């Protein structure tokens, strides 16, 4: 074998995965068709609370915070504000930061942990048997590994090579994207507005640049039609009622968005994660966040599969599909819902939208649910029958004895046994996917709660008592 795991694609999903696998001691090689040093096109700019927690558990969140702007509320459609200030997390905001900053930190971590990177290396084909997967790259060379993960984006070659379909449809065409400087600062840090069948979204990068995404319902042109600043300004005026004196630009493009999801994220020894497994519109800023969390779910399971006996391997690998496919489905629904609420034309829809917004604004539990969905803090995984009610739920960043936090204990990439203070260490059997209980990190909680938790490397409860 040339590697334990080959990861195809060094976007945010592949980088989390490569770092997690290498931290767990696996030999991992990342194949990326882009030349070294060429940034992935800047697309995502919103990092939500659950992703920040995940980055915190890898020692990267505090550094990322210095690169972006914290936005504590989302103002949607003029009248609706979703506050993130009371999210049950250390991160009570969305961080607006360019995708390349997230990738830079993840890349550094993966390299430090020992992941190997090969650039200018495009995967063109792959075959697998009972023992291994062999990939072929554009220059004709081959590489053999025990497992392969396609994190190669929406047009995934890996997905095509193993024959997994990608059903769905285009949901919005001819959106424009502009990174601009403004003469006047908007009153709200993050604004989304829909008006006259148009949609406008404006967010700050925190360094003087703003990202504008707009859509004009009556203008449907091909993606290669150039975008000029006048078009951007006119959509901004139609939706946000101001173009804020948009001036210098550094990036202008036109794009479309599809809603698609692979029915299965696995074919034998080959897995899909991130945009290779699911795509949707940018509404909600959920794509990169969901991809990184797919990787956090899959990484420790693959690392465990390399060490577990045959009989136990299947269950832990199957749990990736069981846990992440429903999350992908819900993300498509949430993102699609936001987009449709914003863009459907007509006075009846506008009236319904008004009523719905009024309802969401007034009813605290609905507002809270919306915040938990967008931030992904509300994600919980299926619980086996008879298991403790906490199994499958996300563990908040508990304070631990000695002044540290759970996020810090998770940085070793292992299971963490969190025992109550002052009591003898409780017995807790080996959890599904746990290769060796002797490797657990042991910690005592400092919040007075007497529940013992066995926490998975991705921060969800494996067992509790």
Ligand X SMILES: Cc1cc2nc3c(=O)[nH]c(=O)nc-3n(C[C@H](O)[C@H](O)[C@H](O)COP(=O)(O)OP(=O)(O)OC[C@H]3O[C@@H](n4cnc5c(N)ncnc54)[C@H](O)[C@@H]3O)c2cc1C
- 27 binding ligand X? (CB under 6 A): no
Query: What is the per-residue burial (b if ≥16 Cβ within 10 Å, else e) of 359-376?
Result: ebeeeeeebbebbbbbbb
- 33 binding ligand X? (CB under 6 A): yes
In the numeric block, the tokens 């993840």 are attached to 106
Residue 163 CA neighbour count, 13 Å, CB half: 4
Q: Between 243 and 294, whose beta carbon lies closer to ligand X? A: 294
Q: Which residues from 291-330 bind ligand X, rule CB under 6 A?
A: 291
- 67 binding ligand X? (CB under 6 A): no
Given 275, 408, 434, 458, the residue binding ligand X (CB under 6 A): 275
- 204 binding ligand X? (CB under 6 A): no
Given 4, 5, 24, 43, the residue binding ligand X (CB under 6 A): 43
Please count the residues of the chain: 465
Strands (E) in 48-93, as ranges, are 69-71, 73-76, 80-83
- 335 binding ligand X? (CB under 6 A): no
Given 3, 45, 317, 398, the residue binding ligand X (CB under 6 A): 45
- 367 binding ligand X? (CB under 6 A): no
Alpha helices in 80-197 (DSSP H): 99-113, 157-161
Choices 235-243, 287-295, 345-353, 454-462 (CB under 6 A): range interacting with ligand X: 287-295
Q: Report how far residue 127's alpha carbon sits from residue 129's, in angstroms, rounded to the nearest whole number.
A: 7
Given 5, 12, 68, 75, the residue binding ligand X (CB under 6 A): 12
Choices 66-74, 274-282, 324-332, 408-416 (CB under 6 A): range interacting with ligand X: 274-282
Q: Report how far residue 441's alpha carbon sits from residue 454's, in angstroms, rounded to the nearest whole number.
A: 10
Q: Between 213 and 246, whose beta carbon lies closer to ligand X? A: 213
Token couple for 109: 């971590």
Number of residues that bind ligand X (CB under 6 A): 34
Token couple for 403: 């002044």
For the bound state, the minimum distance from the C-beta of residue 137 to ligand X, rounded and expressed in Å, comes to 7
- Residue in 215, 205, 186, 187 with CA at minimum distance from that of residue 283: 215
Binding mask 374-413 for ligand X (x = CB under 6 A): ----------------------------------------
Within 10 Å of residue 196's Cβ, how many Cβ atoms?
11
Edge to edge, the sheet with strand 416-419 lists 441-444, 416-419, 453-455, 461-464
Choices 139-147, 281-289, 356-364, 434-442 (CB under 6 A): range interacting with ligand X: 281-289
For the bound state, the minimum distance from the C-beta of residue 352 to ligand X, rounded and expressed in Å, comes to 27
For the bound state, the minimum distance from the C-beta of residue 374 to ligand X, rounded and expressed in Å, comes to 10
The helix/strand count (H/E) of the chain reads as: 11, 23
* Cβ pair 403, 315 in contact under 8 A: no
Given 285, 328, 433, 459, the residue binding ligand X (CB under 6 A): 285
- 101 binding ligand X? (CB under 6 A): no
Q: Between 209 and 432, whose beta carbon lies closer to ligand X? A: 209
In the numeric block, the tokens 């002797």 are attached to 438
For the bound state, the minimum distance from the C-beta of residue 124 to ligand X, rounded and expressed in Å, comes to 7
For the bound state, the minimum distance from the C-beta of residue 341 to ligand X, rounded and expressed in Å, comes to 18
Greatest Cα pair distance in the chain: 69
Strands 142-150 and 3-8: parallel
- 258 binding ligand X? (CB under 6 A): no
* Cβ pair 379, 392 in contact under 8 A: no
Token couple for 111: 């390299």
Q: Which residues from 124-183 bind ligand X, rule CB under 6 A?
A: 151-153, 157, 177
Q: Between 40 and 69, whose beta carbon lies closer to ligand X? A: 40
* Cβ pair 321, 277 in contact under 8 A: no
Given 6, 17, 18, 31, the residue binding ligand X (CB under 6 A): 31
- 209 binding ligand X? (CB under 6 A): no
3-class secondary-structure state, position 416: strand
* Binding-site ranges for ligand X (CB under 6 A): 8-14, 31-34, 40, 43-46, 99, 122-123, 151-153, 157, 177, 255, 274-275, 282, 285-289, 291
């Amino acid at each position: 074998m040339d590697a334990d795991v080959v990861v195809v694609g060094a976007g945010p999903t592949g980088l989390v995965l490569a770092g997690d696998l290498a931290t767990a001691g696996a030999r991992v090689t990342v194949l990326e068709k882009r030349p070294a040093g060429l940034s992935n096109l800047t697309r995502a700019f919103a990092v939500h609370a659950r992703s920040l927690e995940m980055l915190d558990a890898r020692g990267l969140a505090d550094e990322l915070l210095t690169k972006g702007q914290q936005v504590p509320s989302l103002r949607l459609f003029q009248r609706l504000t979703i506050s993130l200030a009371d999210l049950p997390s250390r991160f009570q905001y969305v961080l607006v930061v360019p995708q390349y900053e997230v990738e830079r930190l993840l890349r550094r971590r993966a390299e430090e942990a020992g992941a190997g990177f090969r650039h200018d290396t495009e995967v063109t084909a792959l075959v697998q048997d009972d023992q291994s997967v062999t990939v072929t790259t554009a220059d004709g060379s081959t590489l053999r590994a025990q497992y392969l993960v396609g994190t190669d984006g929406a047009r995934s070659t890996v997905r095509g090579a193993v024959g997994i379909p990608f059903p769905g449809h285009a949901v919005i065409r001819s959106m424009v994207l502009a990174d601009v400087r403004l003469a006047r600062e908007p009153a709200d840090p993050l604004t989304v507005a829909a008006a006259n069948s148009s949609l406008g979204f404006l967010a700050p990068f925190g360094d003087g640049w703003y990202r504008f995404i707009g859509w004009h319902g009556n203008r449907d042109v091909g993606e290669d039609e150039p975008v000029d600043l006048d078009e951007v300004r006119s959509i901004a005026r139609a939706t946000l009622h101001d173009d804020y004196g948009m001036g210098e630009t550094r990036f202008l493009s036109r794009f479309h968005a599809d809603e698609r999801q692979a029915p299965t994220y696995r074919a034998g020894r080959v897995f899909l994660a991130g945009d290779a497994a699911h795509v949707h519109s940018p509404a909600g800023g959920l794509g990169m966040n969901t991809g990184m969390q797919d990787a956090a779910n899959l990484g420790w399971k693959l690392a465990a599969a390399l060490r577990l006996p045959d009989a136990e391997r299947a269950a832990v690998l199957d749990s990736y599909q069981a846990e992440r496919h429903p999350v992908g489905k819900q993300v498509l629904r949430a993102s699609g819902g936001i987009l449709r609420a914003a863009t459907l034309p007509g006075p009846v829809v506008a009236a319904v939208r008004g009523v719905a917004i009024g309802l969401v604004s007034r009813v605290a539990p609905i507002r809270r649910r919306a915040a938990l969905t967008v931030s992904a803090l509300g994600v919980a995984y299926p619980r086996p029958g008879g298991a403790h009610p906490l199994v499958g739920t996300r563990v908040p960043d508990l304070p631990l004895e000695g002044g540290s936090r759970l996020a810090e204990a998770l940085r070793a990439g292992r299971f963490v046994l969190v025992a109550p203070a002052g009591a003898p260490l409780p017995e807790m059997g080996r959890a599904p996917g746990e290769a060796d209980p002797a490797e657990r990190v042991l910690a005592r909680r400092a919040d007075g709660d007497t529940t013992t938790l066995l926490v998975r490397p991705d921060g969800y409860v494996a067992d509790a008592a």
